[in-house]
């Protein structure tokens, strides 16, 4: 249950507890909270445990330059650290950092690794059960692994042939494709999840985790069928905040391990993982002639330039070009 925020003191005293409480008051995703807190702690450690209130733009510049020059951080890594520190100073401490003057990362952005359709299906066929269905949704619908494992039963909209990804990066909602080839498997999975939920209710459990705002707004929702996880965990576990036993969803690491094993046995020697299926969803749609703005919407990208990186992945041989060596 590592995606459920841990409890905080009612009146936090420690700096990081206060910072976490502030992040939660702004309704940021828990993954964002963990990322920001990790970067802030690293920043504090780098400056020999100095308090953030006693530091400012000079120390931020020094730290960001260190990430680029000493730790060889990528552009995106340095940008994530900057976002965390900007949030710390501008939002939490209400201090404007002004114009920063750090050394930017020289490590170029790399193109994402993608699978061909044949490669993707070869790996998927090495999987079984919920892992196979989960990965099929990543490839067939462009879901991140966290989005796939967190799907609720009501997110599978069979009537409108779509999937609703509601617990996404940045807490945004979006609709994406529901592969028709997965409909029968999804119906069976829904049936299984509902039977498990019925058994949990009979045993005195059955209240699923909901984020605070939803739980307050819909007090009866935790026991309703539609809110149950599509991929429920095999066992009940203690919710660290509510201090009650719940059935959570299967873990991301469980799926990641299964994909790693399938990759190894498939003989596909690419630096790949679960996220590669999401990249492959976008790239193979582009190969098939899909409009890039439709792909942007289904991927949930705020900026079209993020989606446009896939135009560089599609091979030049697919643009009608051939090597001079192959000329007849």
Q: Could you give the domains of the chain?
A: 15-92 (1.10.150.130), 111-314 (1.10.443.10)
What DSSP letter does each residue of 80-113 carry, written as one string?
Answer: HHHHHHHIIIIIIS-----S--PPPP-BPPPPPP
Q: At 241, give phi and psi (nearest 5°).
A: -90, -50
* pLDDT tier at 3, thresholds 50, 70, 90: low
pLDDT tops 60 at residue 100: yes
* Average pLDDT, integer, range 230-248: 88
* pLDDT tier at 169, thresholds 50, 70, 90: low
pLDDT tops 60 at residue 99: yes
- Asked whether the beta carbons of 255 and 145 are under 8 A apart, the reply is yes
pLDDT of residue 303: 85
For the chain, give the percent of residues with pLDDT over 90.
Answer: 66
* Average pLDDT, integer, range 128-148: 96
Query: Cα(29)–Cα(150) distance, rounded to whole angstroms?
Result: 14
pLDDT of residue 29: 81
Residues assigned a catalytic role: 144, 169, 275, 278, 301, 310
- Asked whether the beta carbons of 35 and 84 are under 8 A apart, the reply is yes
pLDDT of residue 89: 96
pLDDT tops 90 at residue 28: no
- Asked whether the beta carbons of 33 and 19 are under 8 A apart, the reply is no
* Average pLDDT, integer, range 75-94: 94
Any idea which of 29-43, 201-215, 216-230, 255-269 has the lowest mean pLDDT? 201-215
- Asked whether the beta carbons of 272 and 263 are under 8 A apart, the reply is yes
pLDDT of residue 197: 97
* Average pLDDT, integer, range 42-52: 96
Query: Cα(31)–Cα(23) distance, rounded to whole angstroms?
Result: 11
pLDDT of residue 1: 58
Q: Which of 5-14, 95-104, 121-130 has the highest mean pLDDT?
A: 121-130
* pLDDT tier at 268, thresholds 50, 70, 90: very high
pLDDT tops 90 at residue 194: yes
Average pLDDT along the chain: 90
- Asked whether the beta carbons of 207 and 237 are under 8 A apart, the reply is no
């Amino acid at each position: 249950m590592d995606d459920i925020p841990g409890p905080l003191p009612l009146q936090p005293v420690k700096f990081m507890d206060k910072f976490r409480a502030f992040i939660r008051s702004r309704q940021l995703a828990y993954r964002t909270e963990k990322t920001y807190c990790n970067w802030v702690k690293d920043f504090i450690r780098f400056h020999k445990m100095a308090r953030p209130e006693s530091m400012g733009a000079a120390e931020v510049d020094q730290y960001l330059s260190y990430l680029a020059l000493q730790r060889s951080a990528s552009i995106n890594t340095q940008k994530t650290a900057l976002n965390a520190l900007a949030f710390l100073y501008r939002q939490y401490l209400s201090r404007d950092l002004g114009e920063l003057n750090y050394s930017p990362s020289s490590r170029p952005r790399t193109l994402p690794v993608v699978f061909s359709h044949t490669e993707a299906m070869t790996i998927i066929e090495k999987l079984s059960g919920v892992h196979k269905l989960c990965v099929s949704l990543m490839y067939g619908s462009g879901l991140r692994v966290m989005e796939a494992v967190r799907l609720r039963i009501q997110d599978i909209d069979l009537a409108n042939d779509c999937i609703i990804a509601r617990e996404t990066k940045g807490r945004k909602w979006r609709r994406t494709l529901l592969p028709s080839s997965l409909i029968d498997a999804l119906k069976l999975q829904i049936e299984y999840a509902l039977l498990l939920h019925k058994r949990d209710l009979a045993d005195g459990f059955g209240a699923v985790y909901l984020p605070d705002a939803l739980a307050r707004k819909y007090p009866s929702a935790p026991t309703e069928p539609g809110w149950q996880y599509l991929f429920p965990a095999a066992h009940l576990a203690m919710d660290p905040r509510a201090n009650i036993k719940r059935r959570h969803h299967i873990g991301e690491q469980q799926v990641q391990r299964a994909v790693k094993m399938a990759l190894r046995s498939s003989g596909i020697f690419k630096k790949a993982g679960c996220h590669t299926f999401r990249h492959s969803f976008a790239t193979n749609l582009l190969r098939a002639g899909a409009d890039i703005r439709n792909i942007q919407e289904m991927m949930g990208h705020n900026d079209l330039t993020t989606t446009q990186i896939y135009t560089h992945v599609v091979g030049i041989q697919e643009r009608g070009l051939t090597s001079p060596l192959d000329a007849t």
